[in-house]
């Protein structure tokens, strides 16, 4: 992997990640952009104990542009985009309309490929491996920023999810706090560790799932399963067999095997609802240990946390979505229409050829 860092016309950082070492990236952003001004603010909900990012400047962000005006395509044929060069392998840049900025963290966009009509599942294993390298590199770099406590790499796919740009891309949020969902996991870790005299809850969950019927696929270094208490109609958790706290902890064998396993999972997701159906909308989310202090989580260390990816769709059956209505949105109690065992069975049935 070759990494080349540059600046866009408004001062934002842009980084090219290339498969070949001889690629030269010296294209200049020729757009007449003024410096980005953001209004991000973190507010604490004293009743729930969580945080809300208030970012009114995002109201003006680009919204469903036509394909020939996509800001994530390379700059070609006189049309200037967020990527100054005429081609790229993987690109990461600071979001022009970030939810988090400055002392409130940082938001980045990850473009998986220059092909506007592709999806992550269309990447080659080599290309998917380069995306993994980019995620890992950005996790390392962002973890050193003074304002950052947790790094979250994720992909939203599909208009149903709320995606406003059709180009295959994901995002990275660098939060100035430990997110509520991670805090819940850390509290459960701490309680299990105390109750079992030092046992690890993630290890126990993985051991339990390996012995059950919800395994979707497994390889030498990775295991994918539908969790016992899945929140979403089709939800898969992907774990490395060797527990590590973050992407930086993956060894070379796990990194090498990841693209094949992950691409297979994504292809199965597109087969869930049968031929002729539109692409399955999904969220793919990496859960990594926070980089800040864990003193509030009795006896838990970063090494107790288990890196894992959660992949789920909001489509519950052909042509129907799972909406977060009263119970889910109002009380955070999910009601799942698809039994996890049935979801796992379906995902095994649609193994790609």
Question: Which are the catalytic amino acids?
Answer: 169
Alpha-carbon distances, residue 96 vs 57, 193, 276, 345 (angstroms): 10, 42, 36, 42
- Nearest CA-CA partner of 286 in 168, 165, 181, 152: 152
Alpha-carbon distances, residue 326 vs 180, 199, 229, 312, 335 (angstroms): 20, 37, 19, 20, 10
Alpha-carbon distances, residue 216 vs 256, 286, 341 (angstroms): 20, 18, 10
Locus of tokens 């049309």: 79
Burial 14-43 (b: 16+ CB within 10 A, else e): bbbbbeeeeeebebebeeeeeebebebebe
CB 247 within 8 A of CB 211: no
Spatial separation of the C-alpha atoms in residues 284 and 11, rounded to whole Å: 29
CB 241 within 8 A of CB 222: yes
By three-state DSSP, how is residue 237 classified? strand
CB 154 within 8 A of CB 174: no
How crowded is residue 350: how many other Cβ atoms within 10 Å of its Cβ? 15
Alpha-carbon distances, residue 352 vs 82, 202, 266 (angstroms): 35, 29, 10
């Amino acid at each position: 992997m070759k990494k080349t860092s540059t600046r866009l016309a408004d001062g934002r950082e842009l980084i090219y990640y290339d498969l070949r070492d001889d690629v030269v990236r010296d294209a200049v952003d020729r757009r007449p952009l003024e410096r980005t001004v953001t209004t991000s603010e973190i507010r604490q909900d004293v009743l729930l104990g969580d945080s809300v990012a208030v970012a009114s400047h995002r109201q003006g962000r680009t919204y469903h542009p036509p394909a020939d005006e996509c800001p994530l395509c390379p700059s070609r044929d006189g049309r200037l985009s967020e990527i100054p060069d005429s081609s790229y392998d993987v690109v990461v840049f600071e979001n022009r309309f970030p939810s988090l900025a400055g002392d409130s963290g940082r938001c980045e966009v990850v473009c998986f490929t220059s092909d506007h009509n592709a999806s992550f599942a269309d990447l080659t294993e080599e290309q998917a491996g380069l995306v993994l390298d980019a995620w890992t590199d950005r996790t390392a770099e962002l973890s050193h920023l003074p304002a950052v406590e947790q790094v979250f790499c994720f992909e939203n796919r599909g208009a149903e999810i709320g995606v406003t740009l059709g180009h295959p891309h994901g995002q990275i949020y660098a939060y100035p706090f430990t997110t509520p969902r991670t805090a819940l996991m850390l509290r459960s870790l701490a309680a299990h560790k105390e109750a079992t005299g030092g046992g690890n809850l993630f290890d126990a969950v993985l051991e339990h799932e390996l012995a059950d019927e919800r395994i979707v696929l497994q390889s030498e270094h990775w295991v994918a399963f539908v969790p016992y208490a899945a929140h979403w109609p089709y939800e898969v958790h992907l774990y490395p067999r060797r527990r590590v706290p973050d992407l930086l902890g993956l060894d070379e064998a796990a990194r090498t095997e990841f693209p094949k396993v992950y691409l297979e999972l994504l292809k199965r997701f597109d087969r869930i609802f049968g031929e002729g159906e539109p692409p399955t909308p999904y969220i793919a989310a990496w859960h990594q240990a926070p980089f800040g202090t864990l003193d509030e989580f009795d006896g838990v260390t970063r090494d107790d946390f288990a890196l894992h990816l959660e992949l789920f769709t909001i489509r519950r059956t052909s042509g129907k979505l799972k909406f977060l209505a009263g119970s889910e949105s109002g009380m955070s109690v999910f009601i799942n229409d698809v039994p996890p065992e049935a979801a796992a069975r379906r995902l095994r049935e649609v193994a790609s050829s």
